Amino acid sequence: MNGSAPEGVRLGMVVAGSLSDGMEVRLDPGTSVEDIRVGRYVTVSGQRMRFFGVVTDVALSSTDPAMRTNPPDVSDPFIAQVVSGTAAYGTITVEPMLTLSNDPLDAMDGPQPAKTVPSHFAQVALASEQDVERVFGGESTQNFWIGSPLDMETKLCLNMASLVTRSNGVFGKSGTGKTFLTRLLLIGILQSGEATNLVFDMENEYGWRGYSEGKTEVKGLKQLFSSRVAVFSLDEESSRNRGLAPDYVVRIGYEEVEPEDIMLLRETLNLSEVAADAAYLLQRHFSQRRWLRDFLALSRQEVLELASELNVNPGALGTLHNRLSRFERFGFMDAESAHDSVREILNYLGRGMHVVLEFGRYGRHMEAYILVANLLTRRIYERYARMTEQAMGDDTQKPKPLVITIEEAHKFLTREVAGQTIFGTIAREMRKYNVTLLVVDQRPSGIDSEVMSQLGTKITCLLDNENDVNAVLEGVSGSRKLRSVLARLESKQQALVFGHAVPMPVVIQTREYGTPESYKSLGFVEAAEMKAQVERDIEDLFGPSET
């Protein structure tokens, strides 16, 4: 417990305070201020209800102001003992967050936001494991253990049903553990059965294996849940070099690319507005499905002639031709035929499988990542919308909720393009067609503020850029206090969680991931152990085998 006071122990009593500034608690003589840390959870026993709060400040006080300038001689242990806790004492400030009714009938409604304060002299104690479980829920099929409150060994859980009802975000600067947190959230969604996952795996971290900051190998979703996870690959060679035989190799036909995909790539390809808009003219000039193929087949002279015919700036059209020629270097692009990879993805998702799309070496090319993620998501969303509308009036026919995970989310959701992209649409519609986002980013300030405001739950690791902190906390109640909490996070494996899926903001020490014990806690069974268990089961059924 890091030397702190044990859970459930009385600390002191309420002597002053308010709902806005917090309650002042005078510590009992036997309670040392050194055992109380900012961020600890406490309970306050009021006359009609119990309050659940958090320590926001620790201070030293005295009954005699003169003690500051003329302190007593405490060299005598007896005098020191008499003065400590009586004339000189410690105080803490507690912010009441929730109320827990003492009435069993009212308690069924769960914790409620605190709208009042307890009376004078109400007793204050450190929150126990049972208190935390009552507020956040105990570990179960629906409640996934994500970590522990600071200075507590209690399992703090997120309700997966609440989480997937809206789009969510994981933020933090590089090296703070965003990938580990995201992997845990994906596992929580998988185990709860509340939704299926489609992960655009830019860095090949979620499928077969990933790596910790120390370059230690950790298991990916496919190793842990082989029968429930399918790995799709844009780069079969890369997958096999990493020891993985992909379930499906994704290819994209030129005729599947639309001008909307080019508009999203405008910043990445460094295109002017005129050049990007020219894609729409090209689509009308050539056949709708063959426009990209026919455009890239033109010579430089033919591009100049086409610019004159379309009344487009020759330089802009030439730049567009040059930038789009990069697609010819991508082995997953096919100029000759279309490939309905969306159908294969939907087939797996329809069977309740979770799909991780690895980009292999193409993950290093931002234009490849943006193109594929946007193109596939737009078509998947269109089909989900169609299936949802066809099932109107019959909930049993609706497609299972889908969570789409995108990294470098600010590339898809900038202020300039969020209103035009499918990702902006999904974030704003809040599961209208059973599709939500899990956005992962180290630069939340690059994401449109309207999209940020629509994210239901935010899990934020340490951020050291003021603009990023402002973006994450914009419009959040109590943002000033949360800002100071966020600034005190450690650089690894700590996160501030707030929003729709938790009843109150909470700082967590992230659950361990990457050790054999952590895999077992997630339900993973090693092959040798599984084989031994099968042999034991056979022996129990049929008796020992004859040798």
Mean pLDDT of 306-331: 94
Which pLDDT score is estimated for 156? Answer: 93
Give the DSSP H or E segment for 406: strand 402-407
Domain termination site, one of 75, 110, 137: 137
Last residue of one domain, picked from the residues 118, 137, 156: 137
> 106-120, 309-323, 436-450: lowest mean pLDDT where?
106-120
Tell me the C-alpha distance between 452 and 170, whole Å: 11
Q: What is the pLDDT of residue 536?
A: 58
Tell which residue, 55, 60, 80, has the closest CA to residue 4: 55
Q: How many domains does the chain have?
A: 2
Phi-psi region of 122 (alpha: psi -120 to 50; beta: other; left: phi over 0): beta
pLDDT band, very low/low/confident/very high, at 52 (cuts 50, 70, 90): very high
Q: How far is CA 121 from CA 22, 116, 279, in A?
A: 15, 15, 72
Nearest partner of 54 among 39, 44, 37, 35, judged by Cα: 39
Instruction: Look at residue 69 and tell me whether its pLDDT is greater than 70.
Output: no
User: Residue 391 CA to chain centroid, in angstroms?
Assistant: 30
Residue 191 maps to a domain = no
Residue 290: give the domain boundaries: 254-329
φ and ψ at residue 464, rounded to 5 degrees: -110, 5
In a domain, 341, yes or no: no
The pLDDT, as a whole number, for residue 2 is 45
Please provide the DSSP assignment of 259-274 as one string: HHHHHHTTTTTT--HH
| pLDDT for residue 214 | 59
DSSP helix/strand/coil, 480: helix
Q: Please say if the pLDDT value at position 468 is more than 90.
A: yes
Query: Is 432 inside any structural domain?
Result: no
pLDDT in tens, 535-547: 555 566 666 665 5
> For residue 494, which phi and psi values (nearest 5 degrees)?
-130, 145
Q: Where does the pLDDT of residue 51 fall: very low under 50, low under 70, confident under 90, or very high at 90 and above?
A: very high
Specify whether the CB–CB gap between 468 and 461 falls below 8 A. Answer: no
For the stretch 138-150, pLDDT in tens is 999 999 999 999 8
Angle ∠(254,257,261) on CA atoms, nearest 5: 145
Kindly state the percentage of the chain with pLDDT values over 90.
58
In the numeric block, which tokens belong to residue 274? 């005129």
Calculate the CA dihedral of residues 243, 244, 245, 250 and round it to 10 degrees: -130
> Which H or E run contains 16?
strand 10-18
Read off the amino acid at residue 239. S
Q: Angle at CA 146, nearest 5°, toward 142 and 150?
A: 135
pLDDT at 473 (0 to 100): 92
- Among 103-112, 482-491, 525-534, which is the least confidently predicted range? 525-534
Asked if residue 410 belongs to a domain, the reply is no
User: Which residues contact residue 291 at a Cβ distance below 8 angstroms, ignoring those fewer than 6 apart?
Assistant: 279, 282, 283, 285
Q: Can you give the pLDDT at residue 94? A: 93
Res 6: pLDDT: 57
Name the 3-class secondary structure at 14: strand
3-class DSSP assignment, residue 371: helix
Q: Which residue has the higher pLDDT, 509 or 102?
A: 509
Q: Which helix (H) or strand (E) holds 377?
A: helix 366-390
Query: Would the pLDDT of 191 be above 90?
Result: yes
Asked whether the CA dihedral 519, 521, 525, 529 is positive or negative, the reply is: positive
In a domain, residue 335? The reply is no
402 beta partners = 196, 435
User: What confidence tens digit (pLDDT) does each residue in 361-392 have?
Assistant: 999 899 999 999 999 999 999 999 988 888 88
CB neighbourhood size of 109 (10 A): 9
Q: In the prediction, which pLDDT does 1 show?
A: 40
pLDDT at 238 over 80: yes
Taking a C-beta distance cutoff of 8 angstroms, is the pair 447, 414 a contact?
yes
Domain boundary among 86, 121, 137: 137
Tokens encoding 521: 């806690």
In this structure, is residue 25 part of a structural domain?
yes
Is the residue at 108 inside a domain? yes
Tell me what the pLDDT averaged over the chain comes to.
87
Nearest Cα neighbor of 111 from 165, 21, 51 is 51
- Identify the band that residue 180 occupies on the pLDDT scale cut at 50, 70 and 90: very high
- pLDDT bin (cut points 50, 70, 90) of residue 106 is low
Q: 423-432, 471-480, 522-531: which has the minimum mean pLDDT?
A: 522-531
- Let me know if residue 207 belongs to a domain: no
Distances (CA, A) of 424 to 168, 402, 449, 456: 13, 16, 11, 14
What's the pLDDT score for residue 396?
Answer: 73
